[in-house]
Amino acid sequence: MQPKALTATSVQLHANYIRAHLAKLYPKPKVPLHHHDPFTLLIAVLLSARCTDVRVNNVTPTLFALADNPFTMAQIPVEKVRTIIRPCGLSPTKAKAIVGLSTILVEQHAGKVPADISALEALPGVGHKTASVVMVQAFGVPAFPVDTHIHRLAKHWKLTEGKNVTQTERDLKQLFPQESWHDVHLQFIYYGRDKFTAWQKDPQACEIYRHLFSNTKD
């Protein structure tokens, strides 16, 4: 039986519980993509689109040994980048974006990744989620990136009725305090990978779901 619709107060109480529970499971979550500065984080997140973090982490050491800054990367032939990142998928598009955004960073931003979400989103291959990850994880600017894991879990836990990540992001930002966004979005991801994957169809397999919706009148 599906739980009935929740009141706004119940949803907030559930969000509070989820935040506390995730903090116990993952007290100091770190970005699972290997990087050492804003530029390498930007490239790693870009590569992670439709690709696992494990595969990205296998590829980036070779890529960053070749070029780990915009000045050098802008000089690398696109085809050479493509050859290295091919295991990540979508390599023609991603390689062109990596070299293109590196050129823009050199020409328009003195070789630095801008701490501005609009400027980031203007870069080739950089969407809102990627820009948000860089803002919150590289620069500490509050942002709540929503990927498929977060969107799936937010709906599973009835925190949102969002039909897309944009609405889900808006709802989650209202439920979780701004100072927690840095950790919570990573904790959602880790939980979605470790505890309740997309392959698990039984809601009761999720310990948080069981706590929130078993033997409750909500």
Domain coordinates of the chain in residue numbers? 8-30+144-213, 38-138
Residue 17 has pLDDT above 50, yes or no: yes
pLDDT in tens, 72-91: 999 999 999 999 999 999 99
Q: What is the CATH number of domain 38-138?
A: 1.10.340.30
Per-residue confidence (pLDDT) for residue 3, from 0 to 100 = 56
pLDDT band at 1; cut points 50, 70, 90: very low
CB 50 within 8 A of CB 214: no
In tens, the pLDDT along 135-192 reads 999 999 999 999 888 999 999 999 999 889 999 999 999 999 999 999 999 999 999 9
129 a catalytic residue: yes
The C-alpha angle with vertex 33 and arms to 31 and 36, in degrees rounded to 5, equals 85
In whole angstroms, what is the distance from residue 218 CA to residue 213 CA? 7
Instruction: Give the alpha-carbon dihedral of 118, 132, 182, 22, to 10 degrees.
Output: 150
Write the DSSP symbol of residue 139. Answer: S
Q: Which of 68, 96, 129, 183 is catalytic?
A: 129
Average pLDDT rounded to a whole number, residues 31-57: 97
Q: What's the pLDDT score for residue 214?
A: 80
According to the CATH classification, is domain 8-30+144-213 in 1.10.1670.10?
A: yes
147 catalytic, yes or no?
A: yes
Look at residue 4 in the predicted model and tell me its pLDDT: 60
- Give the pLDDT confidence score for residue 201 in this predicted structure: 87
**Helix, strand or coil for residue 191?**
helix
Dist. CA 109–CA 83, nearest whole Å: 27
Average pLDDT in the 47-72 region?
97
Catalytic residue chosen out of the listed positions 24, 30, 37, 147? 147
Mean pLDDT (the chain, rounded): 94
Res 194 pLDDT > 80: yes
> How does DSSP classify residue 88?
G
Q: What per-residue confidence (pLDDT) applies to 218?
A: 40
DSSP letter (8 states) at residue 3: P
**Phi, psi angle pair for 149, to nearest 5°:** -60, -50
pLDDT at 2 over 70: no
